[in-house]
A and B are shown apart, each in its own frame.
Chain A
Amino acid sequence: MELNRRRLLQLGLLGVAGTSVAATAACGDSSSGGASEKKASSLTMWYWGGGLSKNVVSSAVAQFPTPKLNAVEIGGDFKAKLLTTMNGGKGMPDITGVKGEDIASFYPQAKQFVDLNTLGADKIKSQYLEWKWAQATAPDGTQIGIPIDIGPTALFYRQDIFAQAGLPTEPADVAAAVSTYDDFFELGVQLKGKLPGHFMVKDLASLYNIIVTAQTQFYVDKDNKFIGDQQHIRDAWDTAIKALTLGIDAKISDGNDTNVGMTKGTLPAQLGAAWAGLDIASGAPDSAGKWRVAANPGGPANIGGSFLAIPKSSADPEEAFKIISWILSPENEAKGFADASLFPAAPAAYKLPELTKPDPFFGNQVTIDVFGPQAEKIPVAFTSPYDSAVSAPFFDELSNAETKGKNPDSAWNDAVSKAKSVAQRLGVTV
């Protein structure tokens, strides 16, 4: 009857759609790592492009044949993906990278990770720089991760441009000449005077960032109190603004423009971490051989440097820990430096040939001579999970002062009041 035919048709149409959908289902259902299996047949590790040396990763895969190691490189917003997956509770990898700038935000969620101390991390703790190890120690004592690399800062500079402007050229001389930021800025004024259109400072954000990270505390302290309006931040702010008022700020935030500036020499100086060297090398390859490294103004600071962690849902935490310790051994961290410019967090690596080799990009300078001592001197500092969000208004207002000509003092006031409300919103005591 009518009814039957109609029904059949409906079902038919649904069937067609269903088959194609079934095709998607047939194309496999995978739950990585198999948290339900007794002994995992494979372990999945997530990392981002450049987070680990590809060579070391493939060696690890070869080194640990069973269970099979599935190393996955995740493109795009790594943290968003990690967070969302953690939230859903399914599909978490057995080993994951955690970026340096994100590790503090996981402190309240330390229980989402296996406490590496329970797997023997305390035995290898001494292999790593104390302050870096501490970054992955949650306030409740859980050791969330083991450091992959660090970002000891330095001043990268174009020796040829410095020479043209009559500035010191040897790393030791440069370091002596820029021991304070005032000295550094003086050189900047000199640079601009001799070579108009050449700027010592790329933008206020990068400058301000280094000054702040050299401190031992930032915007929120250990007791979850707001300290962003205090002297250490105010001083950093004032120093950054000075670069603006002296006219040595290029105000360039676009990465492409930075690359061109570095190639042409109009940006002959970069304050950055060791891994910034890789950015310079790939962004300005034509300037190879002309750069040198010197200790940066102010004190040694650290920017970046990530960790490997084991999520609590990991199929085989013991095995995962073996893999992590192997990948992050001093020898392999040294290899990581050679391949991917990942500056080791294990000081023993600094004596290894990969690190003590002269670097052709830096005119055959042995850069470890600068970075090594810097790395050891970096102070232990407390990073709050909310530092990132609370610091944002400061960067935003600096940008306003820089690009919109906003009065620096009112920018400061706005930054502080904004930061206070953000802090309040996040549950920080103001």
Chain B
Amino acid sequence: MLNALRRRQILPHAVLAIGVLISLFPFYWSIVLATNTSADVFRYPPRVIPGTHLVENVRHVLDNIDFFGSMLNTLIVAVSTTVLVLFFDSLAAFTFAKYAFPGRRVLFGLLMLIFMLPAQLSIIPQYMIMAKIGWVGTLRALVIPAAVNAFGIFWMRQYISRGLPDELIDAARIDGASFFRIYRSVCLPMIRPGLAFLAIYTFIGAWNDYVWPLVVLTDPNKITLQLAIAQLNFGQGGTITDYAMLMAGTLMAVVPLLIAFTLFARNFVADLARGAVQG
């Protein structure tokens, strides 16, 4: 009986395993690149096993950029952004999902507008605003605009409208609870999985953000991790010539995310699952 079951499972496992290999292979390969020398990178046929130069490449990275300082900045930005987004977006989404009020359609429609326009479009006007209010070169300039996260509202609204039963709200209202109280006591606890997903999504987005920080962070001592990594380029016109160092730097930038992810992953993926379904 058990054997029959096991045999039926072999095929799915085999296919899934192949998928895992494909998923993880680029990481493996970047490890290969990060542990060899740059000259090895252009060898043909290419090297496929890790080498012994990791420490050397890591040292190059640390010599060339302020890795830990920029990582700290990125961490501050990512956390602040996530907190703001969670709060503002869930509050607004809750309102859209469960309450009718004049202008609701129009306001929500405006969100679709910015979602569909390319983000790069806002770079210049956004910079002009930052210059006017004196936020150029500050981390605030990264956090505050990022709080305007249309996806966050769509996601939470979907989640709340399906996942938060109206009866609970009605019951609370009958009990005399005010709007904000309902938000705090009824809504928030029920949408935790959805919030968890949004939190990770926002955190990752903030961690990996590149173009806007490039433009607005003018102080060399206060840059984010992605910018620091980008500075590992050499050569005219920005050609990358030290791939080994660049890959080492990239790996170093991903490791904290991976660690955090594996630590919180179990819950997170399950939450994502639940969040998506209700959404």
Contacts and interface: CB of A to CB of B under 8 A. Distances in A.
Direct contact of A and B (CB under 8 A): yes
Interface stretch (B5-13, B151-159, B231-239): B231-239
Of A72, A76, A263, which is in contact with the most chain B CB atoms at under 10 Å from its CB?
A: A76
A387 B230 CA distance: 29
A10 B79 CA distance: 20
Interface in B31-90: 38-39, 42-44, 73, 76-77, 79-80, 83-84, 87
A269 B275 CA distance: 58
B57 to A, nearest CB: 15
B231 A49 contact: yes
A343 to B, nearest CB: 11
Interface stretch (B21-29, B216-224, B266-274): B216-224
Contact of B137 (A21, A23, A30, A81): A30
A6 B178 contact: yes
Given A21-B84, A283-B241, A80 B140 contact: no
B124 A278 contact: no
B219 to A, nearest CB: 5
A21 B140 contact: yes
B222 A27 contact: yes
Contacts of A31: 134, 136-137
A264 B222 CA distance: 43
A56 to B, nearest CB: 15
Given A85-B215, A279-B235, A16 B137 contact: no
Contacts of B143: 21, 24
B218 A85 contact: yes
B235 A282 contact: yes
B130 interface: yes
A76 B138 contact: no
A81 B123 CA distance: 10
A13 B254 CA distance: 31
A316 B234 CA distance: 30
B236 A50 contact: yes
A49 B233 contact: yes
Interface residues of B, number: 56
A406 B222 CA distance: 50
A25 B222 CA distance: 12
Contact of B83 (A20, A28, A74): A20
B230 A50 contact: no
A17 B83 contact: yes
B144 interface: yes
Given A30-B137, A88-B130, A23 B239 contact: no
Interface string B195-218: 000000000000000110011001
Interface stretch (A124-132, A171-179, A252-260): A252-260
Contacts of B140: 21, 24-25
B137 A91 contact: yes
Given A27-B76, A73-B231, A32 B219 contact: yes
A16 B88 CA distance: 12
Interface in A298-344: 304
Contacts of B210: 76
Contacts of B242: 282
A23 B42 contact: no
Given A75-B233, A90-B131, A16 B180 contact: no
Given A20-B80, A81-B215, A10 B138 contact: no
A180 interface: no
B236 A6 contact: no
A304 B237 CA distance: 9
A28 B136 contact: no
A24 B215 contact: no
A281 B215 CA distance: 32
Contacts of A275: 236
Contacts of A9: 180-181, 184
B190 interface: no
A263 B235 contact: no
Contact of B180 (A10, A81, A282): A10
Nearest to B64: A73
Given A10-B180, A84-B124, A282 B238 contact: no
A223 interface: no
A30 B127 contact: no
B138 A75 contact: no
A24 B180 contact: no
B44 A260 contact: yes
A106 interface: no
A213 to B, nearest CB: 15
A407 B170 CA distance: 72
A37 interface: no
Given A24-B77, A279-B235, A264 B131 contact: no
A140 interface: no
A263 B42 contact: yes
Given A17-B87, A81-B215, A24 B236 contact: no
B214 A24 contact: no
A77 B212 CA distance: 11
A289 to B, nearest CB: 14
Nearest to A149: B236
A121 interface: no
Contact of A50 (B44, B76, B77, B235): B235
B257 interface: no
Contacts of B235: 49-50, 278-279, 282
A405 interface: no
Interface string B119-145: 000011001101110101111101110
A147 to B, nearest CB: 15
A284 interface: yes
B238 A279 contact: no
A209 to B, nearest CB: 13
B222 A256 contact: no
Given A25-B140, A87-B124, A284-B42, A76 B134 contact: no
Interface in A1-34: 2-3, 6, 9-10, 13, 16-17, 20-21, 23-25, 27-32
23 contacts: A3-B178, A6-B180, A9-B181, A20-B79, A21-B80, A21-B143, A24-B77, A24-B142, A27-B138, A27-B139, A27-B222, A28-B222, A29-B137, A32-B219, A74-B231, A75-B238, A84-B215, A87-B127, A90-B131, A275-B236, A278-B235, A279-B235, A279-B239
Given A50-B233, A76-B210, 17 more contacts: A3-B178, A21-B143, A24-B76, A25-B140, A27-B222, A28-B222, A29-B134, A74-B231, A75-B227, A76-B238, A81-B214, A85-B127, A87-B128, A91-B131, A260-B42, A264-B44, A285-B38
